Amino acid sequence: MSAPSLTPSKTGNSLEVQPRSARPGPQGGRLARSLRRNLTAHGFLVGAVVCFALFSWYPMVREFLLAFQKTEDGTVSWVGLDNLVTVFNDPAFWQAWRNTLMFTLLALVLGFAVPFVVAVTINEFRHGKGYLRMLVYLPVMLPPVASVLLFKYLYDPGYGLLNEVFDAFGLPAQQWLQDPDVSLLAVVVASTWMNMGGATLIYLAALQGIPGELYEAAELDGAGLLRKIWHVTIPQTRLILSLMLLMQVIATMQVFVEPFLLTGGAGPEGSTTTVVYLIYQYAFSFNNYGAAAALGLLLLVLLAGFSAAYVKLSRAEDE
């Protein structure tokens, strides 16, 4: 830390200002001053640190401990890997992972590709950009209960609007949330509608940063529309695309609210049971915090790789 050597600024301070380190403090001693400065600094920090300690750091440690513990009648005992064994032997375990991965995959096809195509298209428009930007972001602002229950109404097999629209196009009516074959897709569609606004706006901002000369140069080389996208648009937005991809994997692997509200969580024949729903069930339906923590730990380990890659990439972007 370098001592600032400033000449007095425009203020009418006539005192001769010396570098801070050379100026005798009121209590003298360098040490005393540094101590005081640190006390003040920590004073500003302490509130947030206490909150982090109680509600972030302590729970993080506890998550690891809980996974290897068992609580019975208020007494805590170490059970080694028993919780993990319980979790692995649960018939819902593999189904939950399968559903979660399937959900992530579908959500990526819809929620990753669609916003990008939409952003590239909107970016070409000379009119109405603001309106379109507002439209895609509108659902993001709705309380999730409102959007999800609205979708439940639209999906209703009896009086839902969606089947009516299908009917108008000569398509067969679906039992959207009652049929195990389509329920997951129905959840993904609702979730994409609710969440795609954020990604679209971020892509739009990234697209605006592409220097126009690159497109001109590509045209001089005779590149058509698709080749311009492939050789200019995508490489120029690659970093943001990868960041968003990682962020979406991390977010969708933790999906809970949408299936919980749409199908009650498990869904028909467990077709929308996700890993986080299973954690929720262990903890809050069966009071088995050990199993919940063990499953949480598995999810954490799996997502840690994605998080690490994300941090690394976002550092790169900062430079």
Partner 1 sequence: MSTRTLISPAQLARPRGKLVYWIVFAVIVGGFTLVFLGPLYWLVSSGFKNPQEVIQTPPTLVPGSFEPANYTRAWEVMDLAKLLFNTLYYAFGALAFQLVLDVAAAYSLSKLRPVFGKAVLGMMLATLMIPATVLVVPQYLTVLDVPVVERNLLNSPWAIWLPSVTNAFNIFLLKRFFDSIPGELLDAASIDGASPMRTLRSIVLPISRPILGVVSIFAVVGVWKDFLWPMLTLPDPAKQTLNVGIYSLSNGVPVNVLIAALTIASIPTLLIFLIFQRNIMSGLTAGGLKG
Q: Specify burial of residue 113 (Cβ count, 10 A radius: 0-12, 13-18, 19+).
A: exposed
Residues 2-61 that bind partner 1 (CB under 8 A): 4, 6, 8-9, 11, 13, 17, 20, 37-38, 40-45, 47-49, 51-52, 54-60
| Cβ atoms 174, 163 nearer than 8 A | yes
What is the token pair recorded at 6?
């400033």
Residues 78-117 that bind partner 1 (CB under 8 A): none
Q: How many residues touch partner 1 (CB under 8 A)? A: 118
Using CB under 8 A, pick the residue from 33, 102, 144, 182 that binds partner 1. Answer: 144
Taking the complex as a whole, the smallest distance from the CB of residue 155 to partner 1 amounts, in Å, to: 11
Nearer to partner 1, 95 or 242 (CB): 242
Residues 6+ apart with CB under 8 A from 129: 122, 123
3-state secondary structure of 309: helix
Closest CA to 108 of 271, 278, 250, 309: 250
Using CB under 8 A, pick the residue from 92, 154, 182, 245 that binds partner 1. Answer: 154
Handedness of CA 301, 303, 308, 309 (dihedral sign): positive
Number of helices (H), then strands (E), in the chain: 16, 2
* Residue carrying structure tokens 């970016």: 123
Taking the complex as a whole, the smallest distance from the CB of residue 58 to partner 1 amounts, in Å, to: 6
Closest CA to 103 of 199, 202, 198, 190: 190
Interaction of residue 316 with partner 1, rule CB under 8 A: no
Taking the complex as a whole, the smallest distance from the CB of residue 56 to partner 1 amounts, in Å, to: 4
Nearer to partner 1, 63 or 82 (CB): 63
Interaction of residue 158 with partner 1, rule CB under 8 A: yes
Residues 207-226 that bind partner 1 (CB under 8 A): 207-208, 210, 212-213, 215-216, 219, 225
Using CB under 8 A, pick the residue from 184, 187, 253, 278 that binds partner 1. Answer: 253
| Cβ atoms 277, 266 nearer than 8 A | yes
Residues 256-315 that bind partner 1 (CB under 8 A): 256-257, 260-261, 276, 279-280, 283-284, 289, 292-293, 296-297, 299-300, 303-304, 307-308, 310-311, 314
